Amino acid sequence: MASLQSSFIMFSSAPKPPSSRFPGRRHRSQISCSRDGGGGIDRRNMLLGLGGLYGSGSSLGHKAEALPILPPDLSTCDPKGTTTTPPGSQEVVKLDVDCCPPFTDKQADYKLPKFKKTRIRRAAHRLSREEVEKYKLAMAKMRELDVTDPDDPKGFTQQANIHCAYCNGPYDQVGHPGVDLQVHNSWIFFPWHRWYLYFYERILGELIGDPTFALPYWNWDNLKGMTLPPAFDDPSSPLFDENRNQDHRGKAVVDLTGRSGITDPTQLVSNNLALMYKEMIGGLDNALDFMGTAYRDGDESPPFGLGGTSENGSHTGIHIWVGDPRNKFNEDMGNFYSTGRDPAFYCHHFNVDRMWTIWEKLPATYSKKIDDDDFKNSAFMFYDEKKNLVRVKVADCLDYTKMGYEYEYSDLSWLNSRPTKKPVPANLMKLANGLPTAEKVFPLKPVKAVKFLVPKPAKGKADEALVLENIVTDNSKLIKLDVFINDEDDKPDELDRAEYVGSFTQLPHRVKGKESVNNLRLNLREVYENINIADDDAVVITIVPQFNGDAVTIGGIKIIRRSAK
């Protein structure tokens, strides 16, 4: 019998907490997901950071008023409503893409069917030839429906359009005209994609007459899976997509951090493992840090920065890495409207779903249960394998074993990828010699790397956070700033070091005005442990611009006690 992921987690020893949360995304390409809202309301304030949700105002408990996200009304889907934003532009572009599903007024609440055999989702790089051929057959039949019956909701394009409709503008929230329905950057990210993958997998099984058919996961968190799975790189295969970054085929190592310019495979792997450790374990103080901010009926679309660590981390990194920079909007996987057109997208998201199952089983000091009826009662619409339009709820997918699948075990080498603790603390007096204090540096336009001294509320290894305040950015620019603490080595490409704190990343986006104002909060408690901070009352902070430092001004910086608001 196949060894399963859950069995490993159950008997694994408790890992130590890491230094901080995941690094933010940045790349010359972007994942675009926007809509022309008419009023120009800022729905794209993309603050991606490492170290806890800042100012989310979310609650893990119940609210007096029931405000779950409602399933979309398919009759109001706008076939001309698909939009995106070009890289480096504030313009919202309407695409000649109809992402609306076939309409029917017949719908029903979905009940999970009983199953006799659990579907085992295997790592893609370990598939046998027979398993790959079976997968190709199912995909070929799904693609055939595009020709024989384009309105069949089981067809390849219809399935791809599901992601487009829920992200790029065709759906408004029921009862809130002009307010997008968005399935990213919040606590419904994981549940919505779990349901999407569930029906996609069942449809493929239906097409080949195999109810036990299981799709593979792209094991990009494992050293042996850190390349595009070979099954997707054969131009003669229905699993192939020509709209991919051609430099990232073959044996190219994935970059989960979304950075560009790093070519050393060893450093890429080390950065990847460090990122996985941070987004799965480190800097997580509550369930929303991993799952994403609360998102309720009538809320504007949450910005990128309020997604959970996994969504903002490795999930987005793969989208950026696979997307084709030759295309205007980085299609296919580099843009949410088109990402479902790449079969690798689903394989990627099976591993994202796997991360959710693993996180739930990892030991933690906080509760991982979101006891909020708005979360559990949020609902979506999908077509099942029998072409029935069904309504599903978040609550019904929280126990994935009841959905009839399990993940084959794969080694979690990132469990031991906490940055190596420095044996000797940095000599602050030597490091700070000749450096200005923060008050003399800010407001700061970081056109080049800059170092300065920041006072601490308490000496030594206190539970503190670094706050960058009033970050004013040009919305049309891709911006990336990396932050280090007491860094004596100045190696900005090495994000696996103890001194790396986190990042501020902004993707180009459209808002009412040309500028946005943000704040960024980065947790320091574990970072202090990793750098073996001495009994000092100040630290040296280094800010390194990666992209367009001249397009951002930081109003101020401070270190606060984490209990402070």
| Average pLDDT for 110-117 | 97
The pLDDT, as a whole number, for residue 58 is 42
Q: What percent of the chain has pLDDT over 90?
A: 68
The pLDDT, as a whole number, for residue 142 is 99
| Average pLDDT for 491-501 | 92
The pLDDT, as a whole number, for residue 475 is 57
Strands 405-407 and 119-121: parallel
- Any catalytic annotation for residue 27? no
The widest CA-to-CA distance across the chain, in whole angstroms, is: 74
- Any catalytic annotation for residue 319? yes
Q: How far is Cα 351 from Cα 505, in angstroms, rounded to an integer?
A: 24
DSSP 3-state of 418 = coil
- Which entry of 22, 27, 156, 184 is annotated as an active-site residue? 184
Please, which residues have CB within 8 angstroms of residue 214's CB and are 6 or more apart in sequence? 119, 120, 121, 122, 201, 405
- Which entry of 22, 213, 304, 336 is annotated as an active-site residue? 336
Q: pLDDT band at residue 60, thresholds of 50, 70 and 90? A: low
The answer to whether 173 touches 67, Cβ cutoff 8 Å, is no
Q: How far is Cα 503 from Cα 507, in angstroms, rounded to an integer?
A: 13
Q: Cis before residue 443, ω within 30 degrees of 0?
A: yes
Of 247-256, 353-362, 512-521, least confident by mean pLDDT is 512-521
Q: Which helix (H) or strand (E) holds 130?
A: helix 129-148
**Regarding predicted confidence, which is higher, 376 or 325?**
376
| Average pLDDT for 421-434 | 95
Write out pLDDT tens, residues 14-30: 333 333 332 333 333 34
Two structure tokens written together for 231: 């099954």
- The topology (CATH level 3) of 428-561 is Jelly Rolls (2.60.120)
Q: How far is Cα 283 from Cα 141, in angstroms, rounded to an integer?
A: 45
Q: For the chain, where do the domains classified as CATH 2.60.120 start and end? A: 428-561
| Average pLDDT for 151-178 | 96
Helix 129-148 and helix 189-207, axial crossing angle in degrees, nearest 10: 90
- Which entry of 22, 156, 190, 193 is annotated as an active-site residue? 193
The pLDDT, as a whole number, for residue 516 is 53
The pLDDT, as a whole number, for residue 42 is 36
**Regarding predicted confidence, which is higher, 516 or 369?**
369
Residue whose structure tokens are 């490091």: 431
The pLDDT, as a whole number, for residue 160 is 98
Q: Cis before residue 332, ω within 30 degrees of 0?
A: yes
Q: How far is Cα 238 from Cα 342, in angstroms, rounded to an integer?
A: 10
DSSP 3-state of 518 = strand
The pLDDT, as a whole number, for residue 262 is 85
The pLDDT, as a whole number, for residue 445 is 97
**Regarding predicted confidence, which is higher, 528 or 32?**
528
- The topology (CATH level 3) of 5-416 is di-copper center containing domain from catechol oxidase (1.10.1280)
pTM: 0.84
Burial label for 470, CB within 10 Å (0-12, 13-18, 19+), is middle
| Average pLDDT for 340-354 | 99
Q: For the chain, where do the domains classified as CATH 1.10.1280.10 start and end? A: 5-416
**Regarding predicted confidence, which is higher, 520 or 193?**
193
Q: How far is Cα 49 from Cα 519, in angstroms, rounded to an integer?
A: 10
Please, which residues have CB within 8 angstroms of residue 373's CB and are 6 or more apart in sequence? 62, 63, 66, 68
pLDDT of 477 over the 80 cut: no
Residue whose structure tokens are 């991982």: 368
- Any catalytic annotation for residue 349? yes
- Any catalytic annotation for residue 315? yes
Q: How far is Cα 375 from Cα 123, in angstroms, rounded to an integer?
A: 30
| Average pLDDT for 405-430 | 96
- Which entry of 125, 348, 349, 509 is annotated as an active-site residue? 349
**Regarding predicted confidence, which is higher, 327 or 559?**
559
Write out pLDDT tens, residues 226-270: 999 999 999 999 999 999 999 999 999 999 987 767 889 999 999
- Which entry of 27, 125, 315, 509 is annotated as an active-site residue? 315
| Average pLDDT for 101-108 | 96
- Which entry of 27, 125, 319, 348 is annotated as an active-site residue? 319
pLDDT of 5 over the 80 cut: no
**Regarding predicted confidence, which is higher, 262 or 142?**
142
Q: How far is Cα 359 from Cα 244, in angstroms, rounded to an integer?
A: 30
The pLDDT, as a whole number, for residue 46 is 34
Q: What percent of the chain has pLDDT over 70?
A: 83
Tell me the backbone φ, ψ of residue 322, rounded to 5 degrees: -85, -35
